[in-house]
């Protein structure tokens, strides 16, 4: 079974631009979560989508948004990029939706650099 895939793997943008990152979950997984990893803040939860609906949200500004499609693929968008948005963005999928399954499986991440 193929793992979680994320595209692109690396991205360089300038301040003020916007960016869209893509995630394809493991086949059959309906929950997709996004995390931001930075040296200072560690791994922080952005949001989670399940069946095309945002089910959980972390403490990030409205510039960070996401969506999920009917095939469970997900995108996240960051508008008006700031230098502090430079980070590794990780997507994770889970079969959660069945009772008691909470393990999330992560993709390799997209390294975003904002200049």
Of these, 55, 80, 82, 83, which contacts another protein (CB under 8 A)?
55
Name which of 28 and 100 has its Cβ closer to another protein: 100
- The answer to whether 111 and 19 are in contact (CB under 8 A) is no
* Binding of another protein by 66 (CB under 8 A): no
Name which of 18 and 54 has its Cβ closer to another protein: 54
Distances in whole angstroms, Cα of residue 52 to Cα of each of 13, 56, 80, 81, 87 = 28, 12, 24, 25, 25
- Give me the least distance between CB of 5 and another protein, in Å please: 10
């Amino acid at each position: 079974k193929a793992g979680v895939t994320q595209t692109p793997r690396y991205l360089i943008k300038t301040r003020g631009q916007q960016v869209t990152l893509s995630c394809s979950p493991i086949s059959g997984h309906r929950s997709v979560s996004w995390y931001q990893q930075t040296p200072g803040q560690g791994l922080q939860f952005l949001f989670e989508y399940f069946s095309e609906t945002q089910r959980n949200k972390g403490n990030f500004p409205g510039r960070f948004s996401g969506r999920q499609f009917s095939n469970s693929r997900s995108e996240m968008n960051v508008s008006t990029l700031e230098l502090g948005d430079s980070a590794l963005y990780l997507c994770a999928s889970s079969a959660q939706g069945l009772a008691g399954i909470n393990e999330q499986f992560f993709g390799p991440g997209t390294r975003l650099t904002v200049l």
